[in-house]
Amino acid sequence: MTVYSKKLEFNTQERIAFIKITDLVRKAVRESGVQDGIVLVNSMHITSSIFINDDESGLIQDFKDWLEKLAPKNFDYQHHHTGEKNGFSHLWRTIMGREVVVSVQNFELELGPWEEIFYGEFDGQSDKKILVKVLGE
């Protein structure tokens, strides 16, 4: 059994960003030497997300508009009484999810036809890490 860990580091220019990381995860899987197993990819922060969906700019805009409807940025969240201004970021990340687990087969990510792995950042412009953990044989 092989276990391999890697951190991906980001500091987004925009507060809200959707970044495709499929190739970075693919690279980590190859580095791991794991032929058959799984890979866990998770944000290490509570205002960002790892999720799988389509790499289509219209859909990314739909996600942003929809999340704004479900949990508006400008709202008097209780969390803001601590001095924070990112109440919505915590809720957006809850909708989009913290992590994905993906199959590894023949040293490669085993993804469906349109599956792409995304890092969704909802309170960026500071140093953030994504954890990639490969397990298998």
Q: Per CB under 8 A, which of residues 96..115 are in contact with its own copies? A: 96-103, 105, 110-115
87 is a site residue for its own copies (CB under 8 A) = yes
Among 31, 80, 108, 125, binds its own copies (CB under 8 A): 80
**What is the rounded distance in angstroms from the CA atom of residue 49 to the CA atom of residue 64?**
13
- Give me the torsion for CA of 12, 108, 32, 34, rounded to 10°: 150
Q: Per CB under 8 A, which of residues 16..45 are in contact with its own copies? A: 36-38, 40, 42-45
11 is a site residue for its own copies (CB under 8 A) = no
Stretch that binds its own copies, among 8-16, 21-29, 79-87 (CB under 8 A): 79-87
CB 74 → its own copies: shortest distance, Å?
14
Block residue for tokens 């500071």: 126
Report the b/e string of 83-92 with b at 16+ CB within 10 A: eeebbbbbbb
